[in-house]
Amino acid sequence: MTKLLYEGKAKKVFATDKPDHVVQYFKDDATAFNAQKRGTIVDKGVVNNKVASRLFQLLEEQGVQTHFIEQLSDREMLAKKVAIVPIEVVVRNIVAGSLAKRLGLKEGEKIEPVLVEFYYKDDALGDPLITEEHVRLMKLATPSVVEDIKKQARRVNEVLVPFFKERNMVLVDFKLEFGIHHNKLILADEISPDTCRIWDAKTGDVMDKDRFRKDMGKIEEAYQEVLKRVCG
Ligand code: TMP
Ligand code: ASP
């Protein structure tokens, strides 16, 4: 029996026989608006595991250290065990989502230079937007870790934007989580259609979780198409 260490909204994390390693199991459960909206996206877990595995592999090849070790099965990823830094790091190339809503900016406008935002990872508070000074106040990360996070987040963007572009997709924005492993900051969690905004480069069609958030239909089809373009 493997021990369940943690269950989140979209994943379960299990212990392995190595204290340093965990298995991330990707579920089909989907939530939005801090779990006020719930549903199932058939085979989402398979898509997200495969897409995240491919993207972590790519990032490793490009010198970004991640928790990824190997894809074990359709829904399982072997990863390094980390202590998650409780900050959701959002990188934005194009105005959309909460940025458009909060500041009244026009959706679809290019952001130059890219915007890196921090949100406090706390479901009870609804993951509020925070500044670096709040990070310091709450001791969520040291100033040098904050610098490292920003540098790595921008590097991830530099690697992923052209990768998606070559596959006829626009990487609008995405969310990253980092963790500490043996005193080193590494990229953790997942990068998938759940955690990115991806638009078709030609038609502008939404290919990510916004289809679920906004009840746009053809959710499974969009996830399968991302899988095909990323891994196919
Ligand atoms: P936002 O525009 O709603 O702030 O979302 C920015 C990006 O972060 C978008 O690509 C979706 C992703 N995201 C998550 O991965 N988890 C979340 O809980 C939220 C709110 C957004
Ligand atoms: N995953 C988040 C939740 O349910 C929200 C989102 O992705 O929109 O709470």
Stretches in the chain below the pLDDT threshold 70: 1
SS3 of the chain: helix, strand, coil, percent, to 5 = 30, 35, 35
Which ligand 2 atom is at minimum distance from the Cα of 123?
9
Q: Does 99 contact ligand 1 (Cβ within 6 A)?
A: yes
Q: How far are the Cα atoms of 98, 140, 181, 187 from residue 55, in angstroms, in the given order?
A: 25, 27, 20, 11
Which ligand 1 atom is at minimum distance from the Cα of 174?
10
pLDDT (0 to 100) of residue 1: 63
Note the pLDDT tens digit of each residue in 6-18.
999 999 999 999 9
Q: Does 9 contact ligand 2 (Cβ within 6 A)?
A: yes
| 190 and 179 Cβ atoms separated by less than 8 Å | no
For the chain, give the longest Cα–Cα distance.
51
Return d(Cα 157, Cα 77) in angstroms, integer. Answer: 22
**91 Cβ contact partners less than 8 Å away, ≥ 6 residues apart:** 114, 115, 116, 117, 153, 154, 156, 157, 173, 174, 176
Closest to 191 measured CA to CA, from 62, 68, 41, 21:
68
| 180 and 65 Cβ atoms separated by less than 8 Å | no
Closest to 107 measured CA to CA, from 115, 97, 117, 116:
97
The number of the ligand nearest the C-alpha atom of 212 reads 2
